[in-house]
Each structure stands twice: as structure tokens, then as C-alpha cells.
Amino acid sequence: MKISWMKVKAVVATTALATGIASTGLVPAHAAGTPPQDAVITLISPVLDATNTADSAKNLALGEYWVSMKWYGEGLVFQRAYVPIGSTVNLTYHVVDKNGQPVVNQDVMLRVNKGYSISTSMLQVDNSFTSGVDKQLVDQANVTHKTDAFGNVTFAIIDLDKAPLGEKKPAKLTDPTLPDGDLTDLHSQMLPQVAGQMVDHSVITEFHYYTDSSPEVVPATHPTIRLVSPGLTDTNSIHREDLEKKFTVENTWYAPGLHFRQVYAPVGSKLTLVYQVTGDDGKTPLANTKVKLHVNKAYSGSNASITDGKTATDATKDSTQGNDQALLEGTTDALGFVLFDLKNTDVNGEAKPATPLTAAPTTGGTFSQIFPEITGGATDIADMVEFHFYGVPVAPLVPAVTAKATKATVKGKTVYTMNITVKNANGKTAAVSITGLKAGLSASITSASQVLKYVVTKGKKTVKITIDGKSYTSTVVVK
């Protein structure tokens, strides 16, 4: 479907912050299943702009040229940034459809050291690794994650290269990058993808890794910790200025500058929490710093069930008193961003509110109050958020497989084809076994309903498709 890119930008802008966040709370979002063909994908962390990227104007123009050549969808943003060698960088993307609505529970594939990028870095993303050897049109790695309840998705990029490799440290973050082919070049390039690079409106980010023998020491006696994912605004969340005053003015429990918001999310939601952490000046990134996350924090009365996959909230701890029900820990990346991937596991939630700004219930709620900390609540300038979960969990889509044989005459010869329809497995890899065919067949599933075709011979065939360790077996007589 062809649409006007200017129209897309206008629609998204009406619901987005400057960082490109368009979380709109209870407004119906694009449902999981077939990927939207006009997805708008923006990078919300790290925050990259003309002040901290190399050759900003030149690279934006280069992205526009690639679009004019029909290699990428309209609106492509291309940016280059410097980070120390051996760094971890948390890339967080926000995904909306052509109407500016968050795309929830959608597979997003990160193309790591993508084809034609001449990427030379050795990286780890989850359990995937790059070799640092350019493969021309082939990506060095592909990793797929799902968007959360607000349309956000994060990938942690770990550079495995070591000094003395690495480029020379730039005098300024805006200095031009090395020319193509320079033997000291060390870079990676990332492209998030939903439906394809020619239909998505996406962003390419290239990181250049430099050797830093004297990293900057950033004073952090009262650091600032701000929530960037999800992006909460006055249109999608409730700003509790009354509680900010109670916590910081009427009492000195928290440092002045505390922000406190309440926000609704469906029961069973995945939550990608990303905080930007800066030093005492409120500007300089605080890298490689431990951050605690108080979940169902003390004196909040929180009762929602939350887990990060390793640690779950402990309902036996009384959160109305001085007990956190869970205490998590993360480390900021090279640019001062820290990620916490959480999931709500409640079976039932609150009644669905009429609007995102409906006052949160004071009794009978299902909620989790969360606060990040480095030096302490009374010294950190931080964001507190309280998630209220409503409704009942949406049942996950279960793969379905059917097999059917067809017969056709091709150039005077009879050809038998096994047609295998795979549904609800977009982004998965299917292992394929059919009687009479070679072992080890597999197929990548790239749509909500995909037909796999294999030429077979006459006779009784056992068809077995295995997805995520579960097998779907059927018997088909080909005649």
C-alpha cells in the first residue's frame, strides 16, 4: 500500500514526543499478526542528534539518496555515532503504524552488521554473534524481539572487540568518521525491520568504536535518572503533582525534581523500561554504572505480579511497610542508558478505565510502583512510575499447521507438490521433515500465514513441522 510519507509524519507528530514516542495508552493499537506494511520505526535510546553524531547533515542526505534509489522506505534516518571499544549499547525502538498508533506484541528483527554495510566489529546480541567479516548482501546476524505494551523494543549490543583495536578517539563526537576502506576502521551498522526495508520507514544506526585510554570521570553524588521508555506524557498518563509535592516538599523522602506518573497497561503486558542516567550536571552520560530498580516498592501497597524472567515479586513481603517485593539491578551502557525487561503475570486486573487519564483506583487496584536508584531516594533526581493493569490476559497465538498435496502437469509431466500452511508463527524458524525428502530442511516464517511448497513423489507421506521445540505431524496420501 502506497501512502504519503508527509502524511505519515504529520499523523505521528500529533501523538509523539520530540524523541519519537507515540504511546497512546488505551487507544486501540495495531494487533499482533500480519506485520503492518507502513510501520514507522524510530530510535528513542540512545538519543542521537546533530550534537552527538558524526557528519549529521551529510548522513541524513545520504539516507535520502538511498530512499531515492528505492533501496529503503521513505523517511529513512541514517546516523553515525562514536562509542568506546568493548561497549554495550541498548538500542530501543518505538514502532507505530501509519496512523501513529503503537504496534504491540509485534516481531521486530534487528539486522546486525547488515548487508552492504562493510561492518568490521565483532558483536554479541543475545546468543547471536557477528564475525566482523563483511558478507556483502548478507547480514552477519539477525535477532528478533517483540514490542511491548507501548510499542517499544530493545536490543543490547555488546562489542566484543578489544584494544588496541579500535579507531582513534575523536576530539569531538561530531568529527567525521574515517573514509571507507581505512584499515583502522571499526564499526557496526544496525537496521530494525518489521515488514521489509523497502516498506518500513526505519532508521540505520552506525557505531564507530574507538580506543579510550582515559575515560572521563563523571561526578555523580546526585545523578539524574529519567524514564525514556515508555514515553509518558500528559495525553497517555496521569501526572501526580500532588504526590510529587508530598514526597519532596511536605516530606523529604525523595529529592526535589522527582517526577511521578501513573499509567494503564493490559494485564499480561511486557514492559520495556529504559532510563537515561546522567551525572551531577544533568547532561553528561553516566556510563557503566549500577542502577537498582525497586519493584512494588516499599510503602507503596503494590500488589501486581511482576518478573524480569529471573526475579519475581514476592507477595509475602508487605509493600505497605518498608519492603520492596523485588529489587533488580542493571548497568548503564556506554551512553548512559539502562534497560529492565519486565512482564506482568497477573490473571485478572482492574476494570478497564474509560480513558488513559481516568483516575487510578485507590482500592481494589492491581498495580506496581517502580523507582530507580543509584545513590539513594533522597539524592537521586529520578522518575517514579506506577503501572495499573486492567482486564484479563490475551491468549497468545498458537501455531497451526496443515498439509495438502496437489497434482499438476508441467511440460507434459505430472508434478506432485506438498503444500504446508503455517499460521501464527511469524518470525519463527520451522524444521521440516517429509517422507522421501532429505533431512535437515528448514524454512523461515515471515508472515502470519505462509505456504511452504515441496516437490514430492506419490505415496503415503508423513509431514512433521517443528517450531520452538513443538512438532506438528500429519499423514498425507499423495495420489
| Least-confidence region, from 152-166, 385-399, 462-476 | 385-399
- Does the pLDDT of residue 1 top 70, yes or no? no
Q: pTM for the full model?
A: 0.81
Q: Do both 193 and 260 map to the same domain?
A: no
Nine cell digits for residue 478: 499423495
pLDDT higher than 80, residue 302: yes
pLDDT tens per residue, range 180-206: 778 889 999 999 999 999 999 999 999
Alpha-carbon span 72 to 110, nearest angstrom: 15
Percentage of the chain modeled with pLDDT above 90: 83
Per-residue confidence at 113, pLDDT binned at 50, 70, 90?
very high
At 216 the pLDDT is 85
- The confidence score (pLDDT) of residue 180 equals 78
Assigned C-alpha cell, 109: 528483527
**Does the pLDDT at position 3 exceed 70?**
no
Contact of 123 with 157, CB cutoff 8 Å: yes
Asked if residue 217 is part of any domain, the answer here is no
Is 471 found in the same domain as 383?
no
The model's confidence at residue 29, banded by pLDDT at 50, 70 and 90, is low
Residues 416, 316, single domain; the answer is no
Here the cell at position 213 is: 585510554
Domain-embedded: residue 216 = no
Residue 25: domain span: 5-210
How many CB atoms within 10 Å of residue 320?
Answer: 11
**DSSP 8-state assignment for residue 31:** P
Q: Which amino acid is at 48?
A: L
Query: Same domain for 328 and 441?
Result: no
Say which CATH number the domain at 132 has: 2.60.40.1930
The predicted pLDDT at position 433 comes to 96
| pLDDT number for residue 5 | 45
Confidence of residue 137 (pLDDT cuts 50, 70, 90): confident
In this prediction, residue 335 has a pLDDT band, given cuts at 50, 70 and 90, of very high
Q: Is 76 helix (H, G, I), strand (E, B) or coil?
A: coil
- Please provide the DSSP assignment of 235-254 as one string: TTSEE-HHHHHIIIIIS-SS
Nine-digit cell at 34? Answer: 500480519
Cell triple for residue 230? 515508555
Q: Number of structural domains, the chain?
A: 3
Query: Nearest 5 degrees, angle CA 173-CA 176-CA 179?
Result: 140
Identify whether residues 182 and 234 lie together within a single domain: no
Is residue 351 situated within a structural domain? Answer: yes
CA distance 31 to 94: 15
**Distance linking the first and last C-alpha atoms of the chain:** 40
Q: Is residue 130 a contact partner of residue 198, using CB atoms and an 8 Å limit?
A: no
On whether residue 97 sits in a domain, the answer given is yes
Q: How confident is the model at residue 463 (pLDDT cuts 50, 70, 90)?
A: very high
Q: Are 148 and 104 in contact (CB under 8 A)?
A: yes
Would you say 106 and 96 are in contact if contact means Cβ atoms under 8 Å apart?
A: no
Q: What gap in Å lies between CA 199 and CA 6, rounded to an integer?
A: 15
In the chain, % of residues over pLDDT 70: 92
Contact 275, 341 (CB under 8 A): no
Mean pLDDT of the chain: 91
- What is the C-alpha to C-alpha distance for residues 388 and 26, in angstroms, rounded to an integer? 12
Reported as half-sphere exposure (CB side, CA atoms, 13 A), residue 460 has a value of 1
- pLDDT band with cut points at 50, 70 and 90 for residue 18: very low
Are residue 69 and residue 128 in the same domain, yes or no?
yes
Q: What is the CA angle 273-274-278, rounded to 5?
A: 145
- Grid coordinates representing 343? 512482564
Asked if residue 16 has pLDDT above 80, the reply is no
The C-alpha cell at 264 is: 494503564
Interval 246-250 mean pLDDT: 97
Does some domain include residue 246?
yes
- Give tens-digit pLDDT for 276-285: 999 999 999 9
Instruction: Indicate the residue type of 431.
Output: A
Q: Report which residue type is found at 292.
A: K
For residue 427, name the pLDDT band (cuts at 50, 70, 90).
confident
112 pLDDT higher than 60: yes
User: By CB neighbour count within 10 A (0-12 exposed, 13-18 middle, 19+ buried), where does 358 fall?
Assistant: middle
Name the pLDDT band for 31 (thresholds 50, 70, 90). Answer: low
Q: Is the confidence at residue 116, as pLDDT, over 50?
A: yes
Q: Which residues contact 125 (CB under 8 A, 6 or more apart)?
A: 110, 112, 141, 143, 155, 156, 157, 158
* Choice among 16-20, 63-67, 377-381 with the minimum mean pLDDT: 16-20
My answer on whether 140 and 16 are in the same domain is yes
pLDDT at residue number 136: 83
Let me know if residue 63 belongs to a domain.
yes
Q: Between the CA of residue 216 and those of 86, 111, 165, what are the distances in Å?
A: 16, 31, 20
- CATH code for the domain of 415: 2.60.40
Domain check: are 189 and 51 in the same one?
Answer: yes
Query: Which of these three, 154, 180, 210, is where a domain ends?
Result: 210
Q: Which of 270, 238, 354 has its CA nearest to residue 102?
A: 270
Predicted local confidence at residue 15, as pLDDT = 38
Mean pLDDT in residue range 52-80: 95
Q: For residue 375, is it within any domain? A: yes
DSSP, res 213: S
Does 200 share its domain with 257? no
Q: Closest Cα to residue 336, out of 280, 257, 279, 273?
A: 279
Return the residue matching grid coordinates 543509584.
374
Please write the tens of the pLDDT for every residue from 197-235: 999 999 999 999 999 888 889 999 999 999 999 999 999
**307 vs 313: CA distance, rounded Å:** 6
Position 304 confidence tier, pLDDT thresholds 50, 70, 90: very high
pLDDT in tens, 70-79: 999 999 999 9
Lowest mean pLDDT among 107-116, 390-399, 454-463: 390-399
pLDDT (0 to 100) of residue 2: 39
H or E stretch at 59: helix 56-68
Domain boundary among 342, 358, 390: 390
Assess whether 358 and 404 both reside in one domain: no
Reduce the DSSP state of residue 150 to 3 states and report it.
coil
Q: Are residues 314 and 375 in the same domain?
A: yes
Longest dimension (CA), the chain: 89
Which amino acid is it at 3? Answer: I
Residue 73 inside a domain? The answer is yes
- Which of 46, 40, 150, 135 is CA-nearest to residue 96? 40
DSSP 216: P
On the question of a cis peptide bond just before residue 396, with omega within 30 degrees of 0, the verdict is no
State the residue for C-alpha cell 503444500.
419
Last residue of one domain, picked from the residues 358, 390, 422: 390
Residues 422 and 365 in one domain: no
